[in-house]
Amino acid sequence: MARKKPEGIEALVPKTEPVSIQEITMLDWYAAFALMSSTGIPETAAKQAFDRAEAMMQEREKRL
């Protein structure tokens, strides 16, 4: 079934394309798991999740 094309104002609003699963990096993957245990302000949680993910990547390099 084809989707109806946007009309009126909706047609003027740019749509962001979703990120393809093929573009997700290991850092993104680790950060996603780190976010599952976070609470608090979203901006702070995101920064902390990527800080943890970078630490996991560094530890992974040591162990390989």
Taking only the tens place, the pLDDT of each residue in 5-56 is 777 777 788 888 777 888 899 999 999 999 998 877 888 999 999 999 999 9
For residue range 6-20, list pLDDT tens digits in order: 777 777 888 887 778
**Tokens linked to 36:** 């599952």
pLDDT for position 14: 81
Q: For the chain, give every domain's residue range.
A: 20-63
> Nearest-CA neighbor of 46 among 57, 30, 35?
35
Nearest alpha carbon to residue 52 among 21, 43, 33 = 33
